[in-house]
């Protein structure tokens, strides 16, 4: 008798990366076979051509698989009180049918993660983020009448972004979405599918995120692709999305800042004020929240050690991960994300600088870039100017009703 191999558990170190419910369609389209690991899933870095995929975001419609995004269901009579205790924003102001961008901290006021909080009803929430935090959430829930469960594998998600995204949904039979405002949520039935749709995204453009049960994922993909064939719909990978999010001025956990639980060195952790999220901190809300005392002290004393700024850099050589200097001599920070922006025709970047640089000292900044020139690296010292984020802004992102181009 031939011995049968015992299947390995999904968290075994020899287990290959998981595949999302949309993987059969994406793998068929992939011409590059460029994949990366996202939260234990196999995800596309580039499907056909990164530049073509980027222009689909800005000029037509793009389709990106967001299934690996970590998702938690938070439900119960104390769900609002728990979320208000957990996050820095005032959750009592979040109405049912709305989404709130937020972050949450440890007791020292250092950011554990950022993400989106969906409120479906007075007692039902969904928290979406980059890292896994189930143990932290469960420990934080002691004393609250609330149930918390990770539902990442139970929900398949697609991000549909771009100026024709509303037209695609309209052609696919999604009725009544013309009244949806940014950060609105709807639960709709279309073509036999139960879809949760939010007017959210990570591109700074008109866009939506759609969530279905895994068994309905391929039917949703096919529905959108068929409806979008006349509207330039294109499946994209993370390379294109990353450029669009940089133009929009959005930050990524463990790219633009290190999450508190994953930081090896204590000085790598950042507070909301140090990564440009100070505007979210509701020190005046009634309930206490994790890190409140530390954040109140930091706000009162101006004790923030770092700041995250947007940079406009001379030339067209991307400055990703380059060092930033004051007067070309003193090292004051580094670039966390940088690229040449095709839409704005600017060399843009997000940088983490040590205060007072980027705060009260904003002039005479330089970036050290090493550019490949005929198989040899050439050191470039180029000027950089602090500018407001986002780098890309378009009225269609918030227009209600959206355009149907």
376 within domain boundaries: yes
Contact present, 198 and 208 (Cβ < 8 Å): yes
What are the residues facing 102 on neighbouring strands? 115
Q: Is the peptide bond before 356 cis (omega within 30 degrees of 0)?
A: yes
Task: Look up the CATH number of the domain holding residue 187.
Answer: 3.30.1360.120
Residues 329 and 196 in one domain: no
Q: What is the pLDDT of residues 379-395, one digit of tens each?
A: 999 999 999 999 999 99
45 within domain boundaries: yes
Average pLDDT rounded to a whole number, residues 9-14: 62
Q: Which pLDDT value is given to residue 403?
A: 78
Does 325 have pLDDT greater than 70? yes
Residues 348 and 226 in one domain: no
Q: Cα(387)–Cα(391) distance, rounded to whole angstroms?
A: 8
Residues 230 and 309 in one domain: no
Q: To the nearest whole number, what is the mean pLDDT of the chain?
A: 95
217 within domain boundaries: yes
Alpha helices in 199-289 (DSSP H): 217-228, 238-247
Task: Look up the CATH number of the domain holding residue 339.
Answer: 2.40.30.110
What tokens does 366 get?
């330089």
Q: Which pLDDT value is given to residue 111?
A: 98
Residues 58 and 206 in one domain: yes
Of 116, 133, 129, 126, the closest CA to residue 79 belongs to 126
27 within domain boundaries: yes
**Confidence class for position 372, pLDDT limits 50, 70, 90:** confident
Average pLDDT rounded to a whole number, residues 111-124: 98
Domain count, the chain: 2
**Confidence class for position 373, pLDDT limits 50, 70, 90:** confident
188 within domain boundaries: yes
Residues 207 and 323 in one domain: no
- Binding-site positions read 209
**Confidence class for position 404, pLDDT limits 50, 70, 90:** confident
Residues 62 and 208 in one domain: yes
Quick one: what percent of the chain has pLDDT higher than 70? 96
- Binding-site positions for substrate read 209
214 within domain boundaries: yes
What b-and-e string marks burial along 162-195, b requiring 16 or more CB atoms within 10 Å of the CB?
bbbbbbbbbbbebeebeebebbbbbebebeebeb
- End residue of a domain, out of 236, 258, 275: 236
Q: What is the pLDDT of residues 167-214, one digit of tens each?
A: 999 999 999 999 999 999 999 999 999 999 999 999 999 999 999 999
Q: Cα(110)–Cα(305) distance, rounded to whole angstroms?
A: 12
Range of the domain at 388: 305-393
How many secondary structure helices (H) and strands (E) does the chain include? 8, 19
Q: pTM to 2 decimals?
A: 0.94
Residues 174 and 50 in one domain: yes
Q: What is the pLDDT of residues 64-115, one digit of tens each?
A: 999 999 999 999 999 999 999 999 999 999 999 999 999 999 999 999 999 9
Q: What is the pLDDT of residues 264-302, one digit of tens each?
A: 999 999 999 999 999 999 999 999 999 999 999 999 999
Q: Which pLDDT value is given to residue 12?
A: 60
- End residue of a domain, out of 189, 221, 236: 236
9 within domain boundaries: no
Q: What is the pLDDT of residues 209-253, one digit of tens each?
A: 999 999 999 999 999 999 999 999 999 999 999 999 999 999 999
């Amino acid at each position: 008798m031939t011995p049968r191999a015992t299947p390995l558990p999904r968290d075994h170190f020899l287990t290959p990366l998981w595949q999302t419910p949309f993987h059969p369609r994406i793998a068929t389209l992939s011409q590059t076979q460029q994949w990366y690991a996202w939260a234990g899933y196999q995800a596309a870095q580039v499907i056909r051509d990164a530049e073509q995929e980027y222009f689909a975001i800005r000029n037509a419609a793009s389709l990106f698989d967001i299934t690996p995004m970590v998702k938690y269901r938070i439900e119960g009579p104390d769900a609002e009180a728990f979320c208000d205790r957990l996050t820095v924003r005032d959750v009592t102001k979040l109405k049912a049918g709305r989404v709130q961008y937020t972050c949450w901290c440890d007791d020292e006021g250092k950011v554990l993660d950022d993400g989106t909080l969906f409120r479906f009803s007075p007692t039902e929430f969904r928290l979406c983020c980059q890292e896994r935090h189930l143990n932290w959430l469960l420990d934080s829930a002691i004393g609250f009448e609330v149930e918390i469960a990770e539902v990442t594998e139970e929900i398949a998600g697609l991000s549909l972004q771009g100026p024709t995204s509303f037209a695609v949904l309209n052609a696919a039979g999604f009725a009544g979405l013309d009244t949806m405002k940014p950060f609105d949520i709807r639960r709709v039935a279309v073509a036999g599918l139960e879809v949760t749709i939010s007017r959210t995204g990570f591109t700074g453009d008109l866009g939506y995120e759609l969530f279905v049960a895994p068994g309905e994922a391929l039917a949703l993909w096919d529905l959108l692709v068929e409806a979008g064939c006349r509207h330039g719909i294109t499946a994209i990978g993370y390379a294109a999305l990353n450029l669009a999010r940089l133009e929009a001025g959005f930050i990524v956990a463990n790219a633009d800042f290190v999450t508190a639980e994953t930081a090896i060195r204590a000085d790598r952790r950042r507070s909301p004020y140090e990564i440009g999220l100070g505007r979210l901190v509701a020190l005046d809300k009634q309930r206490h929240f994790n890190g409140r005392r530390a954040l109140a002290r930091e706000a009162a004393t101006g004790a923030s050690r770092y700041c995250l700024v947007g940079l406009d850099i001379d030339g067209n050589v991307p400055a990703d991960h380059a060092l930033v200097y004051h007067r070309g001599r003193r090292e004051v920070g580094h670039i966390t994300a940088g690229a040449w922006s095709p839409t704005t025709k600017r060399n843009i970047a997000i940088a983490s600088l040590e205060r007072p640089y980027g705060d009260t000292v904003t002039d005479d900044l330089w970036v050290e870039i090493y550019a490949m020139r005929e198989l040899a690296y050439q050191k470039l010292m180029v000027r950089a100017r602090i500018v407001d984020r986002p780098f890309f802004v378009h009225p269609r992102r918030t227009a209600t009703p959206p355009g149907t181009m």
